[in-house]
Each structure stands twice: as C-alpha cells, then as structure tokens.
C-alpha cells in the first residue's frame, strides 16, 4: 500500500508535470475568425415621416414627428434635427420646435419634411374640440411627479421614501401619495397610520411656500437636486392646484379618460456611435384616442455609458453596445432598445435560417451589423449538444462514429437520440429538481422526498406538458406527490406567502417577494397584489394522519367564510385576487388553487417565463436575464423572439422536448464559438456560442466519465444509513443528503431557492483542482480509463487520442499531438506519470470544465 | 387463601372489583364504570398491590426482563405449494430453539440448523436489545403440501425460553423465484410470468435485477406484496421499532443508451409509492411497446440494506393478479374497526354496535361483533334485524334545493362523481336528539379519497364537520402545531334545536372524484358501546414459572358508554392465573380547537386497566404454545352483554433460563 507521503509526492509530481502540459494546451493558438469589413454607404435612399397619419383632438393638441432616412447599409437614421418642416396651411397650426406640430384650427393639414432634396409627407386631422378632462390628482399631479423622477425607487418612491416624504413608485397608489402631500406624516411599512409629526407638503395659505414647490426648484435645500424651474409649466400647474385648494379630483376612469397603455417608437433601433435618436411616446386612452406624451414622461437609460437621454426623449449614442431606455408614465412603464454600432457593414451577407429562431436572431444581428460566426464543426456541436441535452460527455467511440458519418441529417438524428435517452431524464430531472426544489425534507422522512423527486423525474421522463406540471405543482392537493413541495419548503406546511412568491418566481419568472412588505421598488407590483395572490393559498391545510392537503377557503373550519389572511399593513382581510385585480368569486373558493393554476398557466407570463428559462440553459443567458427576473426595468434583448418562442411553445402543447428540439436545431444554437471582427464583443445577441462553466454535478460526472472511474457517494445520515447504488451519477443525487466536497466547492445549488447553482470560479475551485482527490485520485485508479488503456498496451499516441476524445470530444490538433508526444519522449522513463499528468491537465483545463 | 379473602371483602357490592375463578379456567376482572372509579380507586389500589405482594413476595408484578426469543426476518417469505423450501430465519436468543409452530397441518417444518451470526445491527428493523446476545440464523426446511390453502401462515419458533413473535409465511400457487446473489451486475433471469419473487436487499446500496422476455402490447404489472419488515407484523405493531425501508421498483427497456450501452432507459413511470403508516401499494403497470428482454430492478429508498430486509413481489401479465394483497386474513386476530373508513356500515351495523353495549336480547347472531366472534353458546340470541332505510344518492344534488330526504336511521349509498361534486341530503331531527354519522369508503380509500361530511342548518350555517382539530401538539420538528386536523369516519352531534338539517358529502380536496369515490353513510341514534380494546405491547406470552406479568388493556368507551367492562381469559394452562390490580385510569381525549364541542362526541374516552398474569411456581412447563383468548363483556345496569373475543394470544410457561440466571 502506498504511504501517505508517497501519495503526496506522487501527486506533487503529477501536478508539476501537469502544469507544464497545461501550458502547452493554453499556449496553443486558437483558429482566428474573419472579421467583416465595410463602411456605411453615403447615399441617402429615402426619407419618411413617423407618424404618417394622425388625428389630433382639439386646438392646442400637439404631435411630434420624426424624419427617418433609409441608407444602403439598411439602417434608418433619425434626420429630424436636420430636416425642414412645412405645413400645407399655416392657419391650421404651427411647428413650434423640431418636428412638433401644434394644432391651430380643425380640419386636415399636410406636413412635409425635406432633407437633402428628398421629402416625405404626413397627414394630420385636427378633429373637433377636445373634451376637457376633469382634474385628477393621479393623472395631472402624478404625471409631474413621474416625469420629474420624484417617485422613482432612488428617490421618494423608495421603500420608505426620502427624508420622511414617501411617494408610491410610478403613482401606483395615488390615494396614499395625496395623503402624504396634503396631510404629511412619515410612512410606516407595517401600518397605514402615519408616524411622526404631520407636516403637509403644501401650504394652502401661502401656496408659493409649499415644500412641493420649494424643494424641486431648489428654493430650499433638496438632496434630489433641481427638478424644475420656478414658473416652469410644471411649477405653474402645481401652484394652480394648490391655489384651488389641492383637491384630489376625480378618480381616473369612471368619468375621466384614463391611459390604457403607452407605446414607444422606435421600439428597437440602431444608432451609429455619436448619433441621436428621438423617441416618440404615445398614450392609448380609454376613449380610443391617441395622445403624444413624449414630453410628459420620464426617461432613464439602463446604461448611460452606452446611451444618454434627455428629458425630451432625445437619445445620444455615447458608447458602443446595446441597452434600453425606460420610459415611465403614471402607472405605466415601457422600454426602447437601442443598439450602438461603431461602424456599419455595407455588404451584410445573406444568412441561412433553419427556423424562426434564426430569422429573428438574424434580423437583429443584421440591424446591429453583427455577422454571426460560422456553424460549429461536428466535434464542437456534439460536445455542446450532449452536455446541454443530457449533461453527459459522449464516449470516444461515439465521437469517432459521429464525426465519421457522412449522413447530412446526422445532427437532427443525434438530437432525437439524445432527447430519448435515459441521460436526458437524468439531466433534466436534475435541472427541474433544482428549479422545483427537491430537497430532503427537514422532517427527516425519506418518503416525501422520494415521492416529490419521483414526480419531477417521472414528469420529465414522460415528457409531461409543462403547463400540466405547473398546474399540478401550483394546485397541489390531496395525496398527490407535488403537494410535498408545500411541506418540504419548511418541514411542515409552508406559509402561504412563501409558496405563492416561489410559484410566481418559478412559473412567471417574476420576483414579487419585495412586495410582501412594501410596493416593489423596481417593478409595478403593489403590496395589495402580493397579498391578493397570497390569499389563494390561505386555505392550505394538511390532515395530520394522512398528510392530505386541501386548499378550501372559508366554510368548514371557518364558518364565517373568511380567508383568514390579514393584510399586514392595512389589517384588513384579503380575498383571493389575481394580479389583474379580478377577485376570485366565492363560489370558486372550494378550489382556489385550481383557479389560480388555470389562470397562471394561461397567462402570457407563463409561456414566456418557461421558454426563457429553458433558453438560458442552452445559451448561458436568458432573453431576459437573469431568467427569473422579468421586470419592467429589465427588458428582454429579443422581445420578438421571446414572444415567438412562447407562442410556439403554447402551440405545441407546452412540449418541453419540442422547445428544446427547436432550439438545438437552430443555426443560432449551432454557431461556432470562434468569433469574428464584428461579433467578438457581442455577448447578448447570440452571434456566436459563448463558453459556459459546467454545473458542479455535470462537471463531477464529466470527470468520472473522462477518467472512467465512478464517484463513490455517501448519503448524509439523515437518509438513514443507506448507500447509493454503485454507478449512480452526481446529477441523480439530492444535494442536501449527498455529501460531496467537490460539488460544494463548485457551487452546486442546495435548492434553498429555485435557482441553479453558481459555477463561477473561486479560489477554492483552483485549490481543489490542484490538490483535490476528485482530480488526482481518479487518474491513476485501478480499473480507470488510463489503467485499462495501459494494460491493453495502447501507445502514447492512442492514449492521447482517447483522452482527448473522452474529455474534450475532439482529437488533438497536430501541434498538440506533436508537442505532447515530444513531452512524453523526453520523460520516457516516467511514461505513466507523464500520462497521468496529461490526464490531469486535460480535466483541469478550461476547455474541459466549460461547455462551449 | 388471599383470593377468598378478596372475594369476601367485596361480596355484595355491585360496583366492586372481584376475582372469580371457575373450573373452566375462566378468570374475570370487572372494571369499574368511570363515575364510581374515582371514589373507590383509593381503596382498591393499595388493596390490590397489597394482595399481590402478600401472595407472591418473591415475584415482582412486572416480570424480570428475560431474553425473549425474537424473530427479525424470514427469507424467503413464502413458497409454492407442493414444493419443499429452505427458509432462513433470523433473530435473537434463538440458541435453544427446538421446534417450529405454524398451526397448520399443510406445512411440515424441520429445523436443519441453528447458528450464531455476528453482524452489526446496521439499520435493521430489530430494536436495540439490552444485552449483547448474538443474532442467530435458523435454517428450516418447510414441506408445503400440494393441497395447502394459499395465504399467509403465522410462523413461530419455540425454545426453552418460550415462543417467538410470529412472522408470516406465504403459500402461493405460482412459481416462486428466490433471489440469489449473482456475481457482478448481472440480473437474475425469470423463466416466465406470472412469478412471485422472493428477494432480499442484504447490503446497503444493493439493487436486485431480474430480466425477462416481454412481448409488444403485453400489459405488465409489478407489485410489492411485502416490503422489508412486512413479515414482522407483530413486532411492528408492538415494539415501535424503526420502520424498515420502502422498496423501489423500476422497469427498464431492452436497449442500452447511445451514450452508455450498459444504461437502459426506464420505462415504468406510474409506480405508486407506499407510505407508512398509510399503507398503499407499491405497484406499477406498463404496456410493452417493444418486444425484448426487460429488466425489473428492486432497490430501497436511499439504498438501505440489511440481511433482514426481505421483500416479496409479484410480476404478472394482464389483469389477473396472482396474489391479492388486500383481504388476507390477519393471523393475529382482527381489530375493532369501528373507527375506520373500512368497516361496513350496512343495515346490520346497528346490531353489531349494540352487541358491544347492551344486554343479550339485543345481540344479533347475524354478524360477528368484529372483535373475533361472540362466544358460542353463551350470550347469543336469535337474529333481530332492524328496519333501516336504504337510500341511494342521485344527481343532481349539489344544492339544498336538490337534496334527497332521508330518515333516521338510514344508510345512504353515494358517489362523489367528479371533482367538486357535493351530495346533499336533508333530514329531520327532534330537539335534543343525538345522532351519529358514520361514513365508509368501500372502494377508493384514504388517502386518495377523503370524504368530508358536514351538516348545515336551514340557514345554511355549517353546524359541524367530520374534520377534527386538536390543539397544542407538536410535530416531529418539535415545533408547536396549533391545529392538526384529522378526518373522522364517525362524528356525533347533539342537536339542541329540532327541525330540518342538511347533510353534505364531498371530497375534502374538491379536486378528485369519479366512479370509485363511493361512500356509504349511516345516520343513526347514538349507541353507547365498547370500542377498540388494545392489549398493549403484547403479541405473545412467555411466562416464567413463579413470576407474574403486568398487562395494560386500553378500552375505548364510545358514544358515552358508561357501563362496566369485564375482561376474561379463556384457555389458561394449569397453574396460570389472572389477577387484578387497580391501576385504572382514564385518558382524556385531545383538547379540541373548538371549545364548544364536547370532546367525547368526537373521540372516545379511553380507559386503561392494568391486570396481572401469573404463572405459579408449581405451574407445569409447556412444551408448545397454547392459545389463550382475551374476551370482554359489557355490563350495563348490572346486566351482562355478550362475551366478545379481543385477541388470541400464544402463551408458554417456561422455566428461568440459564441465560437469565447468568
């Protein structure tokens, strides 16, 4: 038996030689991609006006117009600032600033724009007299507070407000905003009662002395800086309101005209570095009219290093890249995506598309003048698709077989084989177990854990439609296995708010948690919405003897037909209410979770969250990223693609395998990781394959596979003293009862939250790679791949080939092979030791530990 | 001498505690009704203890802990009739085993060897013993007669230390395959279906594989008949030992995977998991889509393994199930099912209840009283069928307007036809009337069907349900669990106000329903009676000569039963006597969440009685066990009811063993 010191010495030698081999591998030059060259054309092709046909309601109504020019490189550039605007009849109205028309009289009018000898026309109809809207605090004052950024999460719209003054984010709660302004007092999280002395922000006796005017004009100290000038239109409107006694006015809706939604133009655009783009924001009113509110909203750039935006919605490209401009109006937020390019490509190549994914991805790449990488080679594709669909490395024989095959449909055939493989069930069972949180119950009972895990894995194996999986989990009742989730969460029944928030995160990809205690600072969710949705779970009960779960609200145990759920702030009973404000009728209180499950799985959020989450597994990032963080301040990079994927997913019965097949069959997925000059900086537009670290369990299985040595796992004592069967894979283990220092170091998910693990590199990983037993002891273990090859009498050449195929799914390049053989020749007397070092170097390499 | 003194002491007092010894060796103890107990306990308790001490000054009331011969496992768990099978029995203190006791002439057994084994206890289902005596392995050869009735046979070993607990040995008609250790990862080949597989998960992490040929379109079923510890019915019931693991089944297809030729794809996904204490089948069905060699893998949840972990399963094709799991005779006697959703609440249920309560005139011979049988020739009267209305539910009846009118008493047969279905019935009560509502689920059982019964008044106010809420108990994490809920098969309610009421039945979840969600619901007047009688911690008796053994009997007094309960043992061997003590105390029902409800109407009052079984120093030793019978007899207003069998128990009188003397 080898002594401890002998083992340490052996490991040291392996590491020393291995480091040299790593250097060889690292220093190997990668094949360079070709960068597309080209300059934008100079010749303007045409110009057009946006909007082209518009109706303005009443004299004084206004509309801003954009002049867009088409160029040979395919880009549309905003030429509004350099264009000349003319109207057909000066009595009908006038142009007051760049492209802004103000109606002077009813009737039709033609607007003409001219630029460099080209012209475009738009038709304007000034119709009737606009009905004067009754005053509404929410609309009229709320619009100023929103446009001036007073109610953002960084200002008074934060959780507790600023300096004792609280406003709801984006006028989410106008009644409370009104109270804080008119009555004063300090906001409290857990009570609707105001704290502290009540100092109104307005002064009815001396309106000009109102804090609501003094602070934003910096007439007194204001940490939030100057928001508007004294005597500006906004100043005068607020002053006028105070002078009239500061009424609340009408609720928007019943009598007045409410804003149903807002839209921005252009939704997606491309600007050359240093160029500008004017945004147009239009409100859709409840009376069917449209209104230009470009100058009444608040603009925020998600990345000011890329885009700057002024208060009129004029965007300036400050740096290359892509980001979003958020547009906030009272109760509404939209975003516009703007890409900034350094230089354009005139002769953009024609791209082949396999399916709609490619068409939509290519469309954006074309807009951004990014040329995608070539299709990956067979070896690159094989490794990637095997890891993505099965979490498993292909064995060397299969690599040779696949590469040798001349079958043009071999990639599609392989995809089907992998989708039907038991390893697919292993990997996606593991993936969904992370998401749906299969953990050993803290109650210490094996049965619930296994029953719940079986449900997850069997659902994957049977390719159960995803909406059915979701319904079963959301409305888990009776003795059905998914109801164990409600127990697993906390050992006994979890609290309704925790279960609700988690189900929303998992199935809607949205995080409502913040709204448990206060309005969501970065999204549109209110505390009332949070508790309204929580009320669906308020009746969750478990029978002690059979652990049967039921969700009936009211009745029975609760003869007063109460939900038993009290709003923590208002102290009022909460009834089950969908996010859109619809209350669950009492006759459906017998099965509230069934109603919730039906509503959730038919909501657009459901499909888009599902496809985004699956998509992120294949590309390393979601179309919305992080994949479960949909919010108005985190818009999708490819909204059209997201919508198309969601529609396709719905149209195919929420078939997860269909979704995966569609993704991996696309050329977008099959792109090479080798970049070109146009896409080397791109990380969000899927122009090339990005390297992604393997999850801890996948990496551990990959090491076992490459070395040919199975991992010996131990169960935590919670499991009752049993042992895992031999040959079990890391991804078949439940994390909190599977003891594994390796997977702990590599950031596996312990499933305390519905997120996958964090495989980001750490110092611990580096140390483990150098000295950890997983990397070192497997290499020379009897019965392992190296020992078998040596016993079989394989040459060094064959062994190198075999390990490259087993670990990297490729043959060594001729340079690699030559250098390694030379390396071995120099250490001829230490052949086995050197080969062990080679294996160590391979499984320690970045190429091995990543999917790319 | 002392006995006659006691007789004299209490003669002439109806509520007294007395001992009666008859030539038939029937010994009876009267237990006082509750209201009189409080006043007299202070007298009886010291007298009873004094009596014992005076009579047997050298023998403690609680028998000295002796090395009880105990069986822990059997492998295989059964065999085909007409064959001879070698069985390995494992247990403790088996070194002096001399015979096997099966109480059937169809099985002839012969002990071939008794050997000590020195395995660590591991996670075996055996409880930790106080001494460190080694485990023993007994090899027995059993000849199963070709005409032996199929079913379960209790099997015990007999030694000088006495009789062991029973394990169940199954006799089947079908071929039996006994798992043998196959080298490497090979699987055992099954010749044909159907087959009964007798296997054992002897080591942690063990997976037993069985391969067999299957044809496309074939419907396969695989079912675990007994899990590890499944043969340990007596021990599981009486020793509260750790539960053995659950068996996992997996059926694999004929081909290896592209990525790993040794890795077959699992093809069975509809296995139902078992869950203790609610016992469900571990069973799966699969329609074969591709002919070839399939593989059945048997393992345990989280890889538990131990030589005691025997299992028994059946693999068959089509609908014909070779061995019916449900309905096997309970070899240890039946329990009273009055508080089970399984008892049949048919028309004669009232007679059954009255046989456990009233005088002999109300005892029916038409049906047994469920606790074994009524003692023949003693208190049985001719059958007296009650007239009871039989009602059948018909849809629509979700609302009160559609309710079917039923009378009291009546039996309603109904079905929760689909998710959310509510069946409504109306009935009339008199002011002050106290009614019992009993529900049975004849087809789909708990925990799949959870019938919720509620009664609402004419104003649509829910008066009560069969959901019982307790307070102030703790869950397994030590956290306070304020309102654990249970679903009761019976609920009693006292109607202060007469008039019309509505009864509603539905599944508690409102998500399940269908043809199998059938129920029978009995509405009847309250019948005070004796409920479940439990002889605590006793499966068999090994009485050491000259020593006494204390026994505790729990008696449930259902529906405010206030009469007396007499216990008697029948068939005691010579020199064995039955003595009273006065340790009688009542266990109050759990505190209810709803303080307005009388707890006795929700759960029975339980009375615990301690008695002593004594083997005189002169009692002859028994070579083989003798079955004794514990019976109860309700006594109301001085009138005795039927003597009802509670349990048959094997008993041996043994000498003080050498091991114990050491």
pLDDT digits (tens, 9 = 90+) for B154-175: 999 999 999 999 999 999 999 9
The pLDDT tens digits of the residues spanning A608-651 come to 999 999 999 999 999 999 999 998 888 999 999 999 999 999 99
* Chain A residue whose CA is closest to B469: A557
| Model confidence pLDDT, tens digit, residues A495-505 | 888 889 999 99
* Cβ–Cβ contact A546 with B under 8 A: yes
Instruction: Considering only the beta carbons, identify the residue of B266, B452, B465 that sits closest to A461.
Output: B266
Binary contact (B205, A725; C-beta < 8 A): yes
Percent of all residues in chain A with a pLDDT value above 70, rounded to a whole number: 91
Residue to substitute from B125, B245, B267, B301, interface A, most A β-carbons within 10 A: B301
The chain-wide mean pLDDT, for chain B, equals 76
Contact B246 A737 (CB under 8 A): no
On whether any CB of chain A is under 8 Å from the CB of B276, the answer is yes
| B485 pLDDT above the threshold of 80 | no
**Structure pTM?**
0.84
Element (H, E) at A144: helix A142-147
Q: For residue A636, how far is the Cα from the chain centroid?
A: 7
H or E stretch at A416: helix A410-419
Mean pLDDT across B633-650: 86
Query: Which tokens go with A721?
Result: 């003293």
Which of A390, A451, A462 has the CB atom closest to B259's CB atom? A390
pLDDT in tens, A18-46: 555 544 444 343 333 222 233 333 688 99
Query: Which position has the higher pLDDT, A133 or A84?
Result: A84
**B247-260 mean pLDDT:** 92
Query: Is some CB atom of chain A closer than 8 A to the CB atom of B504?
Result: no
CB contact under 8 A, A723 and B205: yes
Using CA atoms, how far residue B279 sits from B271, B272, B276, B448, in Å, is: 14, 11, 5, 12
The Cα of A739 is separated from the nearest Cα of chain B by a number of Å equal to 13
- Long-range CB contacts (< 8 A, 24+ apart) of B52-55? B52/B548, B52/B579, B52/B581, B52/B612, B54/B2, B55/B2, B55/B579
Sheet-wide strand order for A66-70: A46-50, A66-70, A76-78
CB-based contact (8 Å) between B474 and chain A?
no
Could you tell me the CA-to-CA distances from B137 to A529, A572, B84, B308 in Å, in that order? Answer: 66, 68, 19, 11
d(CA B193, CA B176): 10
Residue A544 has its nearest CB partner, among B305, B462, B486, at B486
Which residues, in sequence order, are CB contacts of B661 under 8 Å at separation 6+?
A: none
Of the given ranges (A605-614, A724-733, B221-230), which has the lowest mean pLDDT?
B221-230
Q: Is the pLDDT of residue B380 over 50?
A: no
Q: Which two tokens stand for residue B645?
A: 């069998």
A701 to A11, A415, B82, B241: CA distances (angstroms):
22, 21, 51, 38
A81 compared with B31, residue with greater pLDDT: A81
Contacts of B264 in chain A (CB under 8 A): 422
Which of B214, B226, B280, B217 is CA-nearest to residue B251? Answer: B214
B255 to chain A, any CB pair closer than 8 A? The answer is no
| CB < 8 Å to A547, chain B | 275, 447
Please compute the mean of the pLDDT values over residues A238-251 and round it to a whole number. 90
User: d(Cα A488, Cα A472) in Å, to the nearest integer?
Assistant: 16
**Residues forming beta bridges with residue B31, ordered by sequence position:** B565
pLDDT at B321: 76
Question: Model confidence at B133, in pLDDT bands (50, 70, 90)?
Answer: very low
Q: Over chain A, what is the mean pLDDT? A: 87
Question: Closest approach of chain B CAs to the CA of A814, in angstroms?
Answer: 27
pLDDT band of residue B586 (cuts 50, 70, 90) is low
Say whether residue A463 is in contact with chain B using an 8 A CB cutoff. no
| pLDDT tens readout for residues A363-390 | 999 989 999 999 999 999 999 999 999 9
Q: Which of B271, B303, B511 sits opposite A594 (nearest CB)?
A: B511
| Residue B5 in contact with partner chain A when CB distance is under 8 A | no
* B238 three-state secondary structure: helix
Measure A243 CA to nearest chain B CA, in Å: 56
A491 touches chain B (CB under 8 A): yes
Question: Taking a C-beta distance cutoff of 8 angstroms, is the pair B97, B111 a contact?
Answer: yes
Q: Cβ atoms within 10 A of the Cβ of B526, count?
A: 18
Number of Cα atoms under 13 Å in the Cβ half of residue B266:
25
- Write down the pLDDT at residue B181: 62
* A591/B contact by beta carbon, under 8 A: yes
Min Cα–Cα distance to chain B from A251, Å: 39
* Beta carbons within 10 angstroms of residue A642's beta carbon: 23
CA nearest B265 in A: which residue? A422
Would the pLDDT of B2 be above 60?
no
What distances in angstroms separate CA B78 from CA B188, B227, B312, one per listed residue? 18, 13, 8
At residue B645, φ and ψ (nearest 5 deg) are -75, 125
Query: Which pLDDT belongs to residue A20?
Result: 52
ipTM: 0.83
Q: How much is the pLDDT for A18?
A: 52
Q: A253 or B244: which carries more pLDDT confidence? A: B244
Contact criterion met (CB < 8 Å) for A722 and B278 = no
A406 versus B133: which is more confidently predicted? Answer: A406
Lowest-confidence pick of A14-18, A491-495, A762-766, B300-304 = A14-18
Instruction: Name the 3-class secondary structure at A515.
Output: helix
In terms of pLDDT, which residue wins out, B238 or B56? Answer: B56
- Residue among B207, B420, B467 whose CB faces A591 most closely: B420
What pLDDT score does B246 carry? 80
The closest CB to that of A722, out of B273, B305, B454, belongs to B305
**Pair A672, A380: CB distance under 8 Å:** yes
| Contact at CB, B446 and A548, closer than 8 angstroms | yes
**Interfacial A residues in 692-751 facing B (CB < 8 Å):** 715, 719-726, 737
Quick one: average pLDDT of B269-290? 71
- Dmax (CA) of chain A: 103
Cα B161 from Cα B94, distance rounded (Å): 9
Asked if B246 reaches chain A (Cβ–Cβ under 8 Å), the answer is yes
The residue assigned the tokens 């076992």 is A704
Nearest to B301 among A444, A446, A492 (CB): A446
Which residues of B are less than 8 Å from A461 in CB distance? Answer: 266, 269
Best residue of A721, A726, A734 to probe chain B, by most B CBs closer than 10 Å: A721
Higher pLDDT, B643 or A212: A212
User: Of the spans A123-132, B240-249, B289-298, B329-338, which averages the highest pLDDT?
Assistant: B289-298
pLDDT band per the 50, 70, 90 thresholds, residue B635: confident
From B72's Cα to the closest Cα of chain A, the distance in A is: 19
């Amino acid at each position: 038996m080898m002594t401890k010191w002998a083992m340490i010495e052996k490991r040291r030698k392996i590491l020393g030689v291995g480091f040299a081999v790593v250097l060889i591998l690292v220093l190997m030059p990668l094949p360079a991609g070709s960068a597309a060259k080209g300059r934008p054309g100079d010749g303007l092709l045409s110009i057009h006006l946006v909007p082209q046909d518009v109706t303005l309601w009443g004299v004084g109504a206004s509309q801003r117009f954009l002049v867009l020019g088409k160029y040979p490189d395919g880009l549309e550039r905003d030429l509004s600032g350099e264009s000349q605007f003319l109207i057909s009849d000066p009595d009908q109205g006038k142009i007051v600033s760049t492209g802004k028309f103000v109606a002077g009289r009813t009737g039709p009018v033609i607007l003409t724009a001219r630029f460099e000898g080209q012209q475009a026309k738009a038709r304007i109809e000034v119709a009737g007299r606009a009905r004067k809207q009754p005053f509404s605090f929410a609309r009229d004052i709320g619009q100023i507070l929103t446009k001036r950024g007073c109610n953002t999460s960084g200002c008074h719209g934060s959780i507790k407000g600023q300096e004792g003054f609280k406003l709801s984010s984006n006028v989410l709660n106008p009644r409370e905003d009104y109270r804080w302004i008119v009555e004063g007092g300090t906001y409290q999280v857990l009570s609707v009662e105001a704290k502290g002395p009540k100092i109104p922000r307005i002064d009815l006796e001396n309106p000009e002395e109102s804090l609501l005017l003094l602070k934003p004009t910096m007439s007194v100290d204001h940490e939030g800086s100057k928001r508007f000038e004294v005597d500006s239109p906004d100043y005068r409107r607020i002053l006028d309101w105070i002078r009239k006694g500061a009424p609340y006015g009408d609720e928007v809706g019943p009598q007045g005209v409410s804003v149903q939604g807002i839209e921005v133009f252009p939704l997606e655009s491309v600007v050359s570095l240093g160029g500008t783009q004017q945004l147009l924001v239009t409100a859709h009113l409840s009376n069917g009219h449209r209104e230009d509110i470009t100058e009444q909203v608040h603009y925020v750039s998600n990345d000011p290093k890329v885009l700057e935006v002024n208060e009129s919605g004029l965007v300036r490209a400050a740096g290359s890249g892509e980001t979003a401009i958020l547009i906030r109006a009272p109760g509404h937020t939209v975003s516009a995506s703007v890409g900034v390019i350094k230089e354009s490509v005139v002769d953009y190549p024609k791209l082949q598309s396999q399916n709609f994914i490619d068409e939509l991805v290519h469309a954006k790449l074309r807009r951004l003048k990014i040329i995608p990488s070539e299709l990956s080679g067979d070896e690159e594709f094989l490794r990637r698709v095997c890891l993505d669909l099965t979490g498993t490395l292909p064995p060397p024989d299969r690599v040779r077989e696949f590469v040798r095959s001349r079958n043009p449909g071999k990639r599609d055939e392989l995809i089907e084989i992998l989708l039907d493989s038991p390893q697919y069930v292993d990997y996606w069972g593991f993936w969904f177990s992370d998401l749906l949180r299969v953990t050993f119950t803290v109650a210490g009972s094996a049965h619930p854990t296994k029953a719940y895990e079986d449900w997850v894995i069997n659902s994957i194996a049977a390719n159960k439609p995803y909406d059915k999986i979701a319904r079963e989990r959301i409305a888990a009742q009776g003795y059905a296995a998914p109801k164990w989730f409600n127990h697993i969460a906390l050992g006994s029944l979890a609290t309704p708010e925790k279960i609700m928030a988690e189900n929303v995160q998992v199935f809607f990809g949205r995080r409502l948690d913040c709204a448990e205690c206060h309005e969501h600072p970065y999204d549109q969710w209110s505390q009332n919405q949070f508790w309204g949705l929580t009320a669906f779970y308020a009746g969750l009960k478990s029978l002690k003897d059979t652990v049967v779960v039921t969700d009936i609200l009211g009745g029975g145990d609760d003869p007063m037909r109460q939900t038993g759920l009290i709003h923590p702030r208002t102290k009022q009973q909460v009834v089950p209410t969908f996010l859109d404000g619809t209350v669950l009728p009492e006759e459906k209180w017998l099965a509230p979770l069934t109603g919730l499950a039906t509503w959730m799985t038919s909501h657009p959020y459901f499909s888009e969250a599902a496809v985004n989450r699956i998509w992120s597994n294949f590309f390393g990032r979601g179309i919305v990223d992080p994949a479960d963080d949909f919010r108005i301040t985190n818009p999708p990079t490819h909204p059209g693609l997201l919508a198309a994927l969601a529609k396709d997913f719905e149209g195919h019965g929420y078939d997860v395998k269909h979704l995966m097949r569609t993704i991996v069959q696309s050329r977008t997925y099959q792109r090479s990781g080798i970049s070109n000059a146009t896409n080397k900086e791109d990380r969000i537009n899927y122009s090339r394959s990005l390297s992604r670290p393997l999850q801890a369990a996948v990496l551990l299985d990959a090491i076992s596979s490459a070395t040919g040595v199975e991992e010996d796992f131990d169960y935590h004592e919670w499991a009752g003293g049993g042992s895992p069967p031999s040959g079990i894979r890391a991804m078949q283990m439940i994390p909190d009862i599977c003891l594994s220092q390796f997977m702990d170091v590599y950031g596996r998910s312990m499933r305390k939250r519905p997120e996958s693990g964090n495989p980001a590199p750490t110092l611990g990983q580096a140390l483990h790679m150098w000295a950890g037993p997983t990397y070192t002891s497997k290499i020379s273990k009897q019965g392992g791949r190296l020992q078998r090859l040596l016993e079989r009498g394989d040459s060094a050449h064959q062994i190198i080939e075999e390990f490259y195929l087993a670990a990297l799914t490729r043959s060594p390049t001729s340079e690699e092979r030559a250098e390694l053989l030379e390396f071995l020749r120099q250490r001829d007397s230490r052949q086995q030791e050197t080969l062990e070092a080679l294996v160590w170097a391979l499984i320690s390499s970045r190429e091995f530990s990543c999917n790319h | 001498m002392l006995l006659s003194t006691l007789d004299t002491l209490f003669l002439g007092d109806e509520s007294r505690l007395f001992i009666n010894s008859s030539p038939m060796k029937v010994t009876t103890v009267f237990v006082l009704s509750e209201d009189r107990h409080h006043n007299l306990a202070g007298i009886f308790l010291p007298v009873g203890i004094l009596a014992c001490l005076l009579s047997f000054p050298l023998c403690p009331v609680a028998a000295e802990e002796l090395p009880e011969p105990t069986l822990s496992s059997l492998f295989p768990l059964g065999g085909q009739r007409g064959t001879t099978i070698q069985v390995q029995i494992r247990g403790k203190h088996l070194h002096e085993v001399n015979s096997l006791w099966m109480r059937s002439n169809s099985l002839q057994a012969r002990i071939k060897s008794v050997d000590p084994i020195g395995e660590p206890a591991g996670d075996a289902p055996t409880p930790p013993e106080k001494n460190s005596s080694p485990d023993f392995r007994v090899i027995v050869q059993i000849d199963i007669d070709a005409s032996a009735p199929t079913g379960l046979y209790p099997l015990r070993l007999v030694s000088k230390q006495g009789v062991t607990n029973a394990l169940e040995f199954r006799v089947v008609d079908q071929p039996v395959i006994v798992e043998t250790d196959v080298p490497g990862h090979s699987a055992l080949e099954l010749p044909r279906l159907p087959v009964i597989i007798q296997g054992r998960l002897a080591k942690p992490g063990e997976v037993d594989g069985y391969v067999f040929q299957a044809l496309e379109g074939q419907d396969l079923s695989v079912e675990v008949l007994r899990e590890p510890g499944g043969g340990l019915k007596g021990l599981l019931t009486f020793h509260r030992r750790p539960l053995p693991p659950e068996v996992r089944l997996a059926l694999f297809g004929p081909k290896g995977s592209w990525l790993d030729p040794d890795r077959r794809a699992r093809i069975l996904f509809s296995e139902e998991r078992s869950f203790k204490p609610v016992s469900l089948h571990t069973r799966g069905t699969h329609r074969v889509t591709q002919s070839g060699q399939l593989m059945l893998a048997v393992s345990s949840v989280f890889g538990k393994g131990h030589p005691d972990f025997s299992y028994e399963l059946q693999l068959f094709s089509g609908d014909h199930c070779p061995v019916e799991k449900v309905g096997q005779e309970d070899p240890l006697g039946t329990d009273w099912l009055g508080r089970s959703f399984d008892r049949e609440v048919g028309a004669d249920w009232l007679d059954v209840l009255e046989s456990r309560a009233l005088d002999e005139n109300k005892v029916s011979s038409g049906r047994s009283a469920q606790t074994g049988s009524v003692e023949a020739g003693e208190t049985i009267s001719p059958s007296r069928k009650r007239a009871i209305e039989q009602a059948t539910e018909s849809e629509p009846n979700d609302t009160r307007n559609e309710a079917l009118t039923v009378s009291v008493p009546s039996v309603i047969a109904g079905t929760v036809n689909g998710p959310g279905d509510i069946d409504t019935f109306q009935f009339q009560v008199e002011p002050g009337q106290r009614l019992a509502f009993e529900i049975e689920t004849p087809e789909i059982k708990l925990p799949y069907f959870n019938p919720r019964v509620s009664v609402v008044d004419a104003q649509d106010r829910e008066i009560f349900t069969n959901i019982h809420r307790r307070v102030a108990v703790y869950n397994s994490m030590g956290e306070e669990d304020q309102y654990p809920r249970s679903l009761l098969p019976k609920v009693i309610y006292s109607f202060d106000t007469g008039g019309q009421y509505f009864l509603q039945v539905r599944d508690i979840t409102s998500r399940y329903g269908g043809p199998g969600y059938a129920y029978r619901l009995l509405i009847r007047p309250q019948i005070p009676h004796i409920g479940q009688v439990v002889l605590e911690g006793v499966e068999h008796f090994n009485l050491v000569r000259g020593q006494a053994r204390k026994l505790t009997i729990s008696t449930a007094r259902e529906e405010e039963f206030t009469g007396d309960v007499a216990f008697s043992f029948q068939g005691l061997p010579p020199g064995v006597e039955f003595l009273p003590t006065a340790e009688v105390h009542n266990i109050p029902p759990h505190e209810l969440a709803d303080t307005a409800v009388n707890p006795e109407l929700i759960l029975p009052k339980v009375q615990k009685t301690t008695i002593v079984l004594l083997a005189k120093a002169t009692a002859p030793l028994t070579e083989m066990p003798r079955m004794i019978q514990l019976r109860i007899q309700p006594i109301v207003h001085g009138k005795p009811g039927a003597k009802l069998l509670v349990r048959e128990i094997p008993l041996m009188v043994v000498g003080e063993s050498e091991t114990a003397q050491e």
